[in-house]
Amino acid sequence: MSAAKQLRQLIADNPPVVAPGAFDGLSARLVEQASFSAVYATGGGIARSTGVPDLGLMSLDEITRRLEEMVDVTGIPLIADADTGHGNALNAQKTARAFERAGVAGFHLEDQVFPKKCGHYDDKSIVPEREMTQKIRAVKDALHDPDMVLIARTDGLAVEGYEPTIARAHAYMEAGADAIFVEAPTSEEQIEQIARDLPQPKLINMFHGGKTPLMPADRLGELGYSLIIIPSDTQRAAIWGMQQTLAAIRRDGHSAAMQEQMVTFKGREAVIGTDDYLALDEKYGV
């Protein structure tokens, strides 16, 4: 069964699907090893892992290479962040084909102006509704796998307000999107209202410190949200851990003070399956 078909089946049979964020092969492996059924390849996290902010600065080729690495070392469906499709409708078609070749199960495409900003930043700009619907149609025409899950994201709440955003969401679904993603609702009441006004499959973004209040996954599932992504919390935890370890090394000349907060040498090797690689090395006499 293809990854895209697996994701569709998960959405249909076991909602809500919780997909923690990952930004490289190691973090994607950790999500799978934590027994999650899907992983979210966060565009912002991938950008930050290269040392640049989430402002649309990475090229399509750079993003695609990272997605290939993540797909290659995991066996669960990967949901990718296509940003704006890296330009107009033709650029979005190229992005969709590249993501499809990389092996992702689905991706979200947003209606911000290119280059985009993180969805929880202020002063965003969005394209006209018709431009986005044309982009969705172009992407659907470009895809070869009919099971690929196309999620249409709108950043309209902070730009146009509630009613125009809901109208956009319906237009995007009519254009061919498989699910809708209304970015950055600012209250539980708004989350509930979106669920009532959009009975279609929905994705919601849940992470600590953003504009959207945190709600339990079970409650979101009851409201009708099919997918829950938690993009940046794993990376933020990793940043904190590295900062603490570096502070200990700077202070003491070694990391002994942090040993209880670090995996062991063997634990690190187990995460990446070193023993399996060594067995293959022996088998093939490399």
Name the residues annotated as catalytic.
Answer: 40, 54, 81, 83, 108, 110, 118, 153, 183, 205
Of the candidates 20, 19, 24, the one whose C-alpha atom is nearest the C-alpha of residue 6 is: 19
Task: State how far the alpha carbon of 2 is from the alpha carbons of 6, 72, 110, 152, 211, in Å.
Answer: 6, 14, 25, 21, 35
Report d(CA 57, CA 118) in Å as an integer: 12
Report d(CA 212, CA 145) in Å as an integer: 33
Of the candidates 200, 195, 198, the one whose C-alpha atom is nearest the C-alpha of residue 223 is: 195
Of the candidates 225, 217, 229, the one whose C-alpha atom is nearest the C-alpha of residue 80 is: 229
Report d(CA 80, CA 63) in Å as an integer: 10
Helices (runs of H) and strands (runs of E) counted in the chain: 12, 8
Report d(CA 207, CA 225) in Å as an integer: 15
Cβ-based neighbours of 262, under 8 Å, separated by 6 or more: 241, 245, 255
Is residue 87 left, alpha or beta, with left meaning phi > 0 and alpha meaning psi from -120 to 50? left
